[in-house]
Structure 1
């Protein structure tokens, strides 16, 4: 214990001498498990960063991973990235900060990544003072907030109901910078956080040392996807951010890439609907007066970013079980079949409903996606016409049980295979199947049940820090 306190004191001393004018942040990869070249990472270490950070999750893969408590990144790949980050950080004596652990950042994801880190520490002979920060929010607290009028919908989203909350399997809140700052203040060698506001893992150390919040968060917004903001962009390569008192500079660490004012400004707008106001916990970034200028041969300098405080809200995310899915993949190239496709799909739906009269529309969902026409955008496709000679079909049934989904998908697939339509010449079958068996169990289906904002008074109260020494059990 005394040794642990001594190491923590050393960490705080090192952090206190970071510099009053400059902090360097190494973003290893866009998401832990996406990988990064050794040469780029070593080039980053040679610049002596004060912290190595990475985001480890996203809602981009959909609600399944949060609902099921599983990681969408491969364990072997995650371990490879984290091991290189930890061993590199120990060489320099700087902390590693990881947010949205395990992908979706709920308790099982955080424990999964803590286990990976523990394994690395044991095998590499590391001693890591580790701050573990869960992001799970108890359902009773959310229900109390809902009844008190402290929960609101995101723009264009539905209002939250108590039934939504109760049906949710895992419920998390995006933590902001405050718990991460406290973990670094406490001398953490490694910070593993649950679901996290993406820029926070990069902004925490600068904010600990009093740097401008707007610049620190904007830098974090650029670094969250590592070298995607470079040309050519890549989420599997490293980026260095250098924060100073009145600006920051971003630059890729591979000589094959460079940042341009356009590439960095474009990434600032990544996943944002407003080019000037980027909301986050406790306020928004105002980029009205931002300027992006070249810095050297491969970097870009950014000035003018401002943080505007607002009542503190946490973004809640939760998923519930929708049912089970079975999928059949098929192709068609008969021009008459393609011409009559809408009529055929409607006819198949009618036959399914007629053949299973005891099922209501709430018992199942039957989807047919047409790739080559509108498979990506569905009803939002502005030009829903077949431009080629063939289409790919994804026939999908979602039902309350896997067995029922199997039955419905099989019936829809066989009906479409032999469906008669005007102008049909061949009766041998309408579809070509690339696989045998033709139907696949896709398993449990989850849907977003909570995607709302909760107003709080204390941004850290929901995120207690649990301290541990890795590897656990080491003397």
Structure 2
């Protein structure tokens, strides 16, 4: 029976994995070791600032084990969304680690790096030709928004990775990539159905999160055959169930039957999940439907200001009861004291944990039932100095405000840290979440091949 076997060590490069699980996977003689190295989940800062949200030492530890295993077994190692966000500095950072490992372990192999950062002028040209469209629920973009972007990346499909494999690459470090591609590209190149390969990749990119109990820091093993694939966690304390695998198929998706990606849709309308054995799940029936036009998703981030915040708490029941009123008084006092500033100069934000700190205005049960609440007072302003000023004034106003019924006058808030005000620096927000049309799936993703 024709099959391919793939080892996914961890949900994100740098999250770690047990060596025992990894070695158990190697004993199964995989044809490929692949890992997703990033995500937009940690927010826009990392894309905008060009830094990784994972630690260098942790990333190097994972890569050392993966690259050494790949070289010993003569199988490719592929990682996507290098450095967490996949921009040029992220790719350079991750590639530097790979080369460092090769030098320290006296390894020699063909390395491919695939760029995904996009030139703003190119995106502007495509925009002017009506080649950029929004992904719901975002709105149409414009020239000013594109120009304001600090960094833009495109989410590559399988084609650039297949091209790198065709060049004989043994280790592939890709920029921003559609999560399943690092697993699916090799399989599609070997002639396996794209629908099954991409669906398997969709689940394997999070490694053992799709198992029970789930973990993003443990290994998953996939076996792809011509009409189905099998998923098995490599830690004996975990198992895949039809529920855990089906649930992860829907992870981060709005439509349970159609998963959109570069070049088409994974159609799950006829997918079946079956128990293969007590720890393994069999998946079949997934198909890939090519789109009439090939589109690439763009992700962009821009600077919006500077942040200072203060973390505090209170367990005074009188203050908690009047907290909404107190916050409005603080806002009014800040506004009156700095009446030379406009609403465009700063944002004053209160997050009250124990009331609605997680969901904000969407919280269906905003009544405080706890004996204490945590308060994050946050300011985003045009300059760091202004953010510091507004945060300091708002914090001191709230600390000493004489609300009705107050008993103690020594201070209304408890601060866990000194200094109480924390300067967080530049703030970014995502400003592009759009599709662009391309004629060639590889045209935006230049590949560099080198022997190291």
TM-score by length of 1: 0.94
Specify the alignment match of 1:4 in structure 2: none
CA deviation profile, 1:76-116 (whole Å, cap 9, x unmatched):
00000001000011111001000000000000000000000
The alpha-carbon deviation at position 199 of structure 1 amounts to 0.1
1:458 corresponds, among 440, 443, 451, to 440
Cα distance in 2 for residues equivalent to 1:229 and 1:377: 26
Which of 294, 319, 328 does residue 346 from structure 1 map onto?
A: 328
1:361 is matched with 343
Deviation, 1:339, is: 1.0
Indicate the residue corresponding to 1:413 in structure 2. 395
SS of alignment partner, residue 426 of structure 1: coil
1:429 is aligned, of 390, 411, 414, to: 411
Which structure 2 residues correspond to residues 225-304 of structure 1 after superposition, within 5 A?
A: 225-304=206-285
Q: Deviations over 1:397-438 (max 9, x none)?
A: 111111111110000000001112222222221111111111
User: Which residues of 2 match residues 17-56 of structure 1 at below 5 A?
Assistant: 21-56=2-37
Counterpart in 1 of 2:372?
390
User: Is 1:198 aligned with 2:149?
Assistant: no
Determine if the alignment matches structure 1 residue 380 to structure 2 residue 365: no
- Matches of 2:355 and 2:261, distance apart in 1: 37
Local SS of the residue matching 1:102: helix
Q: Residue in 2 aligned with 1:85?
A: 66
User: Partner of 1:295: helix, strand, or coil?
Assistant: strand
Q: Secondary structure at the match of 1:136?
A: coil
SS at match of 2:126: helix
Equivalent-residue separation in structure 1 for 2:140 and 2:47 (angstroms): 20
> Which region of structure 1 is more displaced relative to structure 2, 393-402 or 73-82?
393-402
**Of residues 137, 142, 146 in structure 1, which corresponds to 2:127?**
146
How far apart are the structure 1 equivalents of 2:266 and 2:367?
Answer: 41
Counterpart CA distance in 2 for 1:301 and 1:84 is: 28
1:308 is matched with which residue? 289
RMSD after superposition: 0.8
Is 1:212 the counterpart of 2:193? The answer is: yes
Secondary structure (helix, strand or coil) at the match of 2:224 reads: strand
Q: Distance in 1 between matches of 2:174 and 2:15?
A: 18
1:161 and 1:82 map into 2 onto residues whose CA distance is 40
In the alignment, is residue 127 of structure 1 matched against residue 111 of structure 2? no
Shift of 1:297: 2.4
In 2, the alpha carbon distance for the partners of 1:55 and 1:307 equals 21
Q: Can you give the 5+ residue segments of structure 1 that lack an aligned partner in the other structure?
A: 1-19, 471-475
5+ residue gaps, structure 2: none
Deviates more, 1:421-430 or 1:120-129: 421-430
1:58 to 20, 25, 39: 39
Provide the C-alpha distance between the structure 1 equivalents of 2:399 and 2:433, rounded to a whole number of angstroms: 39
Q: Does 1:440 align with 2:398?
A: no
1:337 corresponds to 2:319 = yes
Q: C-alpha separation between the residues in 2 aligned to 1:232 and 1:213?
A: 29
> The residue matched to 1:82 in structure 2 has which SS?
helix
For residues 26-62 of structure 1, give each alpha carbon's deviation from its aligned partner in whole angstroms, at most 9, with x where no partner exists: 1011000000110010011111111100000000000
1:8 counterpart residue number: none
Q: Name which of 177, 185, 195 aligns with 2:166.
A: 185
Distance in 2, matches of 1:47 and 1:188, equals 23
What secondary structure sits across from 2:82 in the alignment? coil
- How many residues are treated as equivalent by the alignment? 451
* Correspondence for 1:6: none
Q: Distance in 2 between matches of 1:183 and 1:297?
A: 38
Alpha-carbon distance, 1:351 to partner: 0.8
Specify which of 103, 114, 117 is matched with residue 136 of structure 1.
117
Residue number among 155, 172, 184 corresponding to 2:136 in the alignment? 155
Q: CA deviation at 1:136?
A: 1.0
